[in-house]
Structure 1
């Protein structure tokens, strides 16, 4: 006896079912890939932001710790450096001494 051949209808339905299964698998894979990319992007933004904030804080602390001593903007006037505006009279003997 000869093996019975499958009908065209059942062969077509199997082919369509296989195509639908492959399409669903590709769609699920693509959606999973999009979710992973979104997660990676958000994570990269958060880590990058933390690095920038850390660098700014580090530089601020470093600048405060290693700040040079303040210097006066002008030299202070010393009494020896100033000249009297009115010359003082020479000491003289007063009458009666």
Structure 2
């Protein structure tokens, strides 16, 4: 009878195979994590570049295609009198306008 704690060659091989498979699974899992992290970083960088490009594109487009201001027609300036007319102290009436009274309450 074998002593307690002694291992048979088959049992040793089985344990070695289990350890090898465990190490392979651990390495595969670490590889997957690195790939996911790399993919996330690449996606963040590319997304940031796209957003920055869109903002710059809109700013350039807004500056290039900005409408030119068109001068609006204005009547004679209010502060300066027209040439040839003299300022009068009293306003001149333009017709006979009688004020209307509003009913008082």
Structure 2 partner of 1:51: 50
TM-score (norm 2): 0.64
Matches within 5 A, 1:37-76: 37-71=36-70, 76=74
SS of the aligned residue for 1:42 comes to helix
In structure 1, the partner of 2:76 is 78
Structure 1 position 69, deviation (Å): 1.0
CA RMSD, Structure 1 to Structure 2 (Å): 2.4
Cα deviation digits, residues 4-45 of structure 1 (max 9, x gap): xxxx61000000000000000000000000000000000000
Looking at structure 2, the residues matched to 50 and 67 of structure 1 have their Cα atoms a distance apart, in angstroms, of 25
Instruction: Specify every segment of 5 or more residues in structure 1 that has no aligned partner in the other structure, as ranges.
Output: 1-7, 88-97
* Aligned positions of 1:15-26 closer than 5 A: 15-26=14-25
Aligned length: 77
More helix by share: 1
Consecutive unaligned residues in structure 2, runs of 5 or more? 1-6, 93-105
Quote the Cα distance in structure 2 between the aligned partners of 1:33 and 1:43: 15
SS of the residue 1:44 aligns to: helix
